[in-house]
Structure 1
Amino acid sequence: MSFNTITKITPFAEKIKQPLLKDKITVLQINLGKKCNLACSHCHVEASPKRTEELTPEICEQLQQLISKFPQIKTIDLTGGAPELNYGFKPLVETARKYNKEIIVRSNLTIYFEQGFEDIPQCCADNKVRIVASLPCYLEDNVDKVRGKGVYDQSIRAIGWLNDLGYGTDEDLILDLVYNPPLPTTKNFSLTAEQSKLETAYKMFLQEHFEIKFNSLLTITNLPIGRTKFFLKKQGLIDDYLYFLESNFNPITVNSLMCRNELSIDYLGNVYDCDFNQMENLPAKIPNGDNLTVTKLLAMDSLDVIEKVQTASYCYGCTAGSGSSCGGALS
């Protein structure tokens, strides 16, 4: 779809005609830091090998308290940067496993080949970690353009390594891959491909060429945040892209938005409604208007202290077409 004029974006809260209310919290998504061995062109976190920000021992201990204190938490979702590269990764995995939580690690796969991190695949298998790994295309050239030369080859080798440990075949060892569409360079925008059809294409290609397996493919829309936002601004496309997302708003997706039942926590212990709000520095608010932190959650002895989700224009990225979340399509 192409746009010749820029139309004012409708505020998201106005579009849904009511506040976006928080549900009972069942997911903690924790960003362990911005350190990463890659610097992907679409990264909304703006992570790279040059970044040094990471979790502190104090915040790590508070997060372990949260995990142990609240049985309502079903899932601990670890992200970064490369989460495995940042402080607190193993302690949080071990604590989550001790309290029988689902553990998700959002991995770039290439971290397994960095010196000192060769034990990560076995650590994940031992703790029944669900690995959600970025592979923005099943073709080598497209992946390396986005993530760096040689990343595709290492990713394929890493998936084979995980398969050898039982990932993709053992029901307790789940390996999901993540697809991000290419960043647009013209106004001929398009929605993310249908998740189920793209998953079939991925599985056929990877099985035929490499004899490797995975469980599910998750399709995620590029939100205009971080490096994606900078790229769109440089191309003069950001307003048109936002309008495209709004014009494809799907109200069916709203009830399933990930921000409704999760807390996103940064390496400093600040709390947000979602990972995207975290990167845009839009903190979660408690009813008195104060910003929420892990320290306050522990003091208040409750996870359910937020009434309304903080929204912004990029929320249309999660509600366009079939919807988009850290768990893939919503409808």
Structure 2
Amino acid sequence: MINKLVNHLDTNFTPFTAKLSQPLTKQSIKVLQVNLGKRCNLACSHCHVEASPKRTEELSPEICGQLIDLIDNFPEIKIVDLTGGAPEMNYGFKPLVEAARKHGKQVIVRSNLTIYFVDGFGDLPAYFAKHQLRVVASLPCYLADNVDKMRGTGVFDASIQALQWLNQLGYGTSPDLIVDLVYNPQLPTSEKFSLPPEQGKLERDYKRFLQENFDIVFNNLLTITNLPVGRTKLHLERKKLYDSYLHFLESSFNSSTVEHLMCRDLLSVDYLGNIYDCDFNQMMNLPATTVKGEPLTVAKFLEAGSLDLIDEVKTADYCYGCTAGCGSSCGGSLVS
């Protein structure tokens, strides 16, 4: 599928691998990122997972048990990063949280904030605080119209209420209760493409606006580039902008971002237990493999008794999104 996407680009397009001075090698694994499933209470226009309330795919008890074994047996895993869909809605969320916290690992929950107001999930903010989860929450703008356009009517107001709730529990002020916000640009409707603004300046703007208007505080703003994957890819294709957007990302390539790419020390796991180098490769079905080209699973890591089974990171042309400008990752920009 990836080759088909590349083939219809004009000959001036440089494949991502040609930009690298050497193969992108895997480093010691520090982050276990688990996509628990595609169930979500929202259906955001930019979602690379294509999650929605209609999706039913989620983690099984068997794979959840294997992931807990992985957390128990590999102390080099320092961070367990739980995503989705809305990770809180999918099977295994709390068992994985508690397994990781038992070993003192940092747990990140990538929360859409609005889930707290869905029946059956009102305990989440207190649960997060009890287990000292780091909350990373999407708020793609500090203006209501822009947020609702991307994420659905009423999402901005619900997000504000959720952030105020977290603040009341100590998030944003207690050193053990971290809440970060995520910015990504509006989806383009013409060839006037843009990368995220400088992260530090935009963070100051967010903090000032949210403090002055809603008395909200938070820790960090993370800026993320829209990668042409999932619903973003579908949007670009509908607008006939896919090729030109890839060209734009290529023209913004910054070689200094490569050594900081998140895929180098991360394992991305899907709800079936398959292993990928990153969440974007997961959505594009580009699995991580052994030197012999064998796809990897959680079970194979457990059988081997080692996390060092991957030599090189699998790349594709959408990787330009992570290396454009200041770079982009699940932790925000990569370089100043």
State the TM-score bracket (shorter-chain normalisation). Answer: over 0.9
Tell me the alpha carbon deviations over residues 179-203 of structure 1, each in whole angstroms, 9 at most, x when there is no partner: 0100111111122111011101100
Partner residue of 1:155 out of 132, 154, 159 = 159
Tell me, yes or no, if the aligned pair for 1:6 and 1:240 is still in contact at 8 Å: no
Alpha-carbon distance in 1 for matches of 2:270, 2:284 = 12
Percent of aligned pairs with the same amino acid: 68
Q: Structure 2: which amino acid aligns with 1:317?
A: G
User: In structure 1, the residue corresponding to 2:232 is in which secondary structure?
Assistant: helix
Tell me, yes or no, if the aligned pair for 1:137 and 1:143 is still in contact at 8 Å: yes
Tell me, yes or no, if the aligned pair for 1:192 and 1:220 is still in contact at 8 Å: yes
Tell me, yes or no, if the aligned pair for 1:6 and 1:243 is still in contact at 8 Å: no
Q: Structure 2: which amino acid aligns with 1:122?
A: A
Q: CA deviation at 1:10?
A: 1.4
Structure-1-length-normalised TM-score: 0.98
Structure-2-length-normalised TM-score: 0.96
Partner residue of 1:88 out of 87, 92, 101 = 92
Tell me, yes or no, if the aligned pair for 1:138 and 1:202 is still in contact at 8 Å: yes
Q: CA deviation at 1:6?
A: 5.1
Task: Flag structure 2 segments of 5+ consecutive residues without an equivalent.
Answer: 1-8
Q: Structure 1: which amino acid aligns with 2:310?
A: I
Q: Which residue of structure 2 aligns with residue 66 of structure 1?
A: 70
Q: 1:185 to 1:96 in 2, by over 3 A?
A: same
Alpha-carbon distance in 2 for matches of 1:83, 1:155 = 16
Q: CA deviation at 1:18?
A: 1.5
Partner residue of 1:124 out of 116, 125, 128 = 128
Q: Structure 2: which amino acid aligns with 1:137?
A: C
Question: Which segments of structure 1 move beyond 4 Å, counting only runs of 4 or more?
Answer: none
Tell me, yes or no, if the aligned pair for 2:185 and 2:194 is still in contact at 8 Å: no
Matched, 1:280 2:295: no
Tell me, yes or no, if the aligned pair for 1:9 and 1:313 is still in contact at 8 Å: no
Q: CA deviation at 1:9?
A: 2.5
Q: Which residue of structure 1 aligns with residue 256 of structure 2?
A: 252
Q: Which residue of structure 2 aligns with residue 261 of structure 1?
A: 265
Alpha-carbon distance in 1 for matches of 2:106, 2:308 = 20
User: In structure 2, the residue corresponding to 1:146 is in which secondary structure?
Assistant: helix
Q: CA deviation at 1:53?
A: 0.2
Q: Structure 2: which amino acid aligns with 1:226?
A: G
Alpha-carbon distance in 2 for matches of 1:159, 1:153 = 10
Matched, 1:110 2:114: yes
Tell me the alpha carbon deviations over residues 126-177 of structure 1, each in whole angstroms, 9 at most, x when there is no partner: 1110000000000000000000000000000000000000000000000000
Alpha-carbon distance in 2 for matches of 1:110, 1:191 = 26
Q: CA deviation at 1:7?
A: 5.3
Alpha-carbon distance in 1 for matches of 2:266, 2:248 = 27
Alpha-carbon distance in 2 for matches of 1:25, 1:8 = 36
Q: CA deviation at 1:17?
A: 2.6
Q: Which residue of structure 1 aligns with residue 6 of structure 2?
A: none
Q: Which residue of structure 2 aligns with residue 134 of structure 1?
A: 138
Partner residue of 2:244 out of 235, 240, 244 = 240
Q: Structure 2: which amino acid aligns with 1:171?
A: P
What count of residue pairs does the alignment treat as equivalent?
Answer: 327
Alpha-carbon distance in 1 for matches of 2:329, 2:230 = 17
Alpha-carbon distance in 2 for matches of 1:129, 1:304 = 27
Matched, 1:299 2:296: no
